[in-house]
């Protein structure tokens, strides 16, 4: 089969890595890919939001299956476009992508189908929002309705922060059109973890759990990032909790997808806040997480292409998913300055000195004049399986110092809990 993976991060590298192990893959392309994917796939110089360019390429190269990594092409309607042209593609259409692309849409969905989530109100007008704040206590959470590259959620501790944040979003338009509407939400206490699920029509099949680390600094301090480390499985997902999630969340999503005619064939990646056996849903994503995918896929023993095909054909069963008992950890190395602006183009060395048991998924790298250089805020996800989380983590921290690039940073407390 000819496979096309869309995207350029560690998630897409992990997808290429796992699919390259399938006997079904004759050729894998990655558009645009990065310095790591080019070892497993042929990189194609088409941006992941160039839907027409991707469509032309898929037709030209007789692509049998397309896997979409990031949300942007999904929200732009790549699945609708490919299907109109009889191309097989894994992901939600434009309509279902709103579960991720609009916070208000997903909150309304949760409310309507009785899925427990933080209480909220939405506003487009600044003065109304200021009045509305009175119904919440501090801390409270303000979210831009649209997609803001992981920057659209602001936790406000007091009135001063709240006024400034509402002004920034609704008056100064710091998020442009994505911030035309905000939702104000109660703050929920607990520990976060995610569950990555396959969606096959309206059937939801849980894959495995993962926890990512969002804050740039050790001890979960500092600015939010796209995710700077992760491990799988999350210890919070006991059998009892999984059973509860099945009934209180997955079955309800399934009913909701059917009733709202939002059925699709792809991923739903559910963010939870968990406190003992109390679970609330924070958000939905309609794609694989990054770096969650880097710790999920190494644990999968089944053929990933087979799973994608069965999901698309509505034939997937839970028993098709075979997981190793091993745990997996990833530590993301990032560039100086991340998550704010950072310089790129620094030479990366030391990868050849790592032992074979480590996997390195590239988040932001490219080749320039034959040399591997940094090409993003997040650069490399250093990943290891292990008998348990501790041994996987130790494998990484024992060797991560061998990798070098100017301004390299990583957290030293990933997977310590």
| Minimum CB–partner distance for residue 196 and ligand AMP (Å) | 14
Q: Taking phi first (over 0 means left), then psi (-120 to 50 degrees means alpha), and beta for anything else, what does residue 104 get?
A: alpha
Regarding 91 and contact with ligand GLY (CB under 6 A), the answer is no
Decide: 230 and 330 in contact? Cβ < 8 Å: yes
Residue 142: HSE in the Cβ half-sphere, 13 Å Cα cutoff: 28
- Tell me which residue of 383, 362, 412 sits closest to 35, measured CA to CA: 362
Q: Which is nearer to ligand AMP, 64 or 145 (CB)?
A: 145
Regarding 70 and contact with ligand GLY (CB under 6 A), the answer is no
Q: Which is nearer to ligand GLY, 145 or 212 (CB)?
A: 212
Decide: 364 and 375 in contact? Cβ < 8 Å: yes
Binding site partner of 185, from ligand GLY, ligand AMP, none, Cβ cut-off 5-8 A by kind? ligand AMP
Regarding 289 and contact with ligand GLY (CB under 6 A), the answer is yes
Binding site partner of 153, from ligand AMP, ligand GLY, none, Cβ cut-off 5-8 A by kind? ligand AMP
Regarding 69 and contact with ligand GLY (CB under 6 A), the answer is no
Binding site partner of 226, from ligand GLY, ligand AMP, none, Cβ cut-off 5-8 A by kind? ligand GLY
Token digits of residue 222: 């500092």
Residue choice 209, 285, 365, 395 for contact with ligand GLY (CB under 6 A) = 285
Q: Which stretch binds ligand GLY (CB under 6 A): 2-10, 45-53, 199-207, 286-294?
A: 286-294
Q: Which is nearer to ligand AMP, 141 or 279 (CB)?
A: 141
Helix residue ranges per DSSP H, 76-211: 78-84, 98-101, 103-112, 126-132, 159-166
User: How far apart are the C-alpha atoms of 270 and 6, rounded to whole Å?
Assistant: 21
Decide: 155 and 139 in contact? Cβ < 8 Å: yes
Q: Which is nearer to ligand AMP, 3 or 154 (CB)?
A: 154
Concatenating the DSSP letter of every residue in 313-377 gives TT---GGG--B-S-EEEEEEEE-TTTTS------B-B-GGGS-TT-EEEESSEEEETTEEEE-SS
Residue 116: HSE in the Cβ half-sphere, 13 Å Cα cutoff: 13
Q: Which stretch binds ligand GLY (CB under 6 A): 116-124, 195-203, 272-280, 283-291?
A: 283-291
Token digits of residue 267: 């991923």
Regarding 7 and contact with ligand GLY (CB under 6 A), the answer is no
Regarding 294 and contact with ligand GLY (CB under 6 A), the answer is no
Q: DSSP state, 404?
A: B
Question: How many residues in the shown chain lie near ligand GLY by CB under 6 A?
Answer: 7
Binding site partner of 192, from ligand AMP, ligand GLY, none, Cβ cut-off 5-8 A by kind? ligand AMP
- Tell me which residue of 165, 104, 175 sits closest to 139, measured CA to CA: 165
Q: Which is nearer to ligand GLY, 156 or 228 (CB)?
A: 228
What is each CA distance from 371 to 35, 145, 345, 366, 403, in whole angstroms?
10, 41, 10, 8, 15
Which residues are at the interface with ligand AMP (CB under 6 A)?
118, 141, 153, 185, 187-188, 192, 214, 271, 282-283
| Minimum CB–partner distance for residue 103 and ligand GLY (Å) | 13
Residue choice 50, 185, 212, 309 for contact with ligand GLY (CB under 6 A) = 212
Residue choice 93, 185, 292, 303 for contact with ligand GLY (CB under 6 A) = 292
Decide: 103 and 141 in contact? Cβ < 8 Å: no
Q: 185 forms bridges with which residues in the sheet?
A: 120, 141
Q: Which is nearer to ligand AMP, 188 or 327 (CB)?
A: 188
- Beta-carbon contacts of 176 under 8 Å, excluding residues fewer than 6 positions away, are none
Q: Which of residues 222-281 bind ligand GLY (CB under 6 A)?
A: 226-227
Q: Which is nearer to ligand GLY, 25 or 230 (CB)?
A: 230
| Minimum CB–partner distance for residue 315 and ligand AMP (Å) | 31
Residue ranges in contact with ligand GLY by CB under 6 A: 212, 226-227, 285, 289-290, 292
């Amino acid at each position: 089969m000819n496979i096309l993976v869309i995207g350029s991060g560690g998630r897409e590298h992990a997808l290429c890595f796992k699919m390259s192990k399938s006997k079904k893959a004759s050729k894998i392309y990655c558009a645009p890919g990065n310095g790591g994917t080019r070892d497993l796939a042929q990189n194609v110089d088409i941006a992941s939001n160039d839907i027409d360019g991707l469509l032309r390429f898929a037709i030209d190269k007789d692509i049998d299956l397309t896997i979409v990594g990031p949300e942007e092409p999904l929200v732009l309607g790549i699945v609708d476009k490919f299907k109109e042209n009889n191309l097989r593609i894994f992901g939600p259409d434009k309509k279902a992508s709103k579960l991720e692309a609009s916070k208000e849409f997903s909150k309304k969905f949760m409310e309507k189908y009785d899925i427990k989530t933080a209480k909220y109100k939405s506003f487009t007008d600044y003065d109304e929002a200021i009045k509305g704040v009175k119904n919440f206590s501090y801390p409270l959470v303000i979210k831009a309705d649209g997609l803001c590259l992981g920057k659209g959620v602001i936790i406000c501790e007091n009135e001063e922060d709240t006024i400034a944040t509402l002004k920034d979003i609704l008056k100064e338009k710091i998020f442009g059109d994505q911030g035309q509407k905000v939702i104000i939400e109660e703050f929920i206490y607990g520990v976060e973890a995610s569950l990555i699920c396959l969606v096959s029509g309206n059937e939801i099949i849980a894959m495995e759990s993962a926890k990512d680390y969002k804050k740039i600094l050790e001890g979960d301090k500092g600015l939010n990032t796209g995710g700077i480390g992760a491990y799988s499985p999350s210890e919070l997902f006991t059998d009892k909790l999984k059973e509860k999630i099945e009934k209180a969340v997955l079955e309800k999503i399934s009913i909701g997808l059917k009733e709202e005619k939002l059925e699709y064939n792809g991923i739903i990646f559910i963010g939870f806040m968990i406190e003992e056996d109390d679970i609330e849903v924070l958000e939905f994503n309609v794609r694989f997480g990054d770096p969650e995918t880097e710790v999920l896929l190494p644990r999968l023993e089944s053929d990933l292409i087979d799973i994608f095909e069965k999901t698309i054909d509505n034939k997937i069963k839970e028993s098709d998913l075979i997981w190793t008992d091993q745990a997996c950890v990833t530590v993301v190395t990032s560039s100086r300055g991340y998550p704010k602006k950072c310089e790129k183009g620094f030479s990366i060395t030391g990868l050849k000195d790592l032992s074979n048991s480590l996997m390195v998924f590239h988040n932001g790298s490219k080749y320039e004049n034959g040399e591997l250089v940094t090409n993003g805020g997040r650069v490399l996800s250093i990943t290891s399986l292990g008998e348990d989380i501790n041994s996987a983590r130790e494998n990484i921290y024992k060797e991560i110092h061998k990798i070098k690039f100017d301004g390299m940073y990583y957290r030293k407390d990933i997977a310590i809990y």
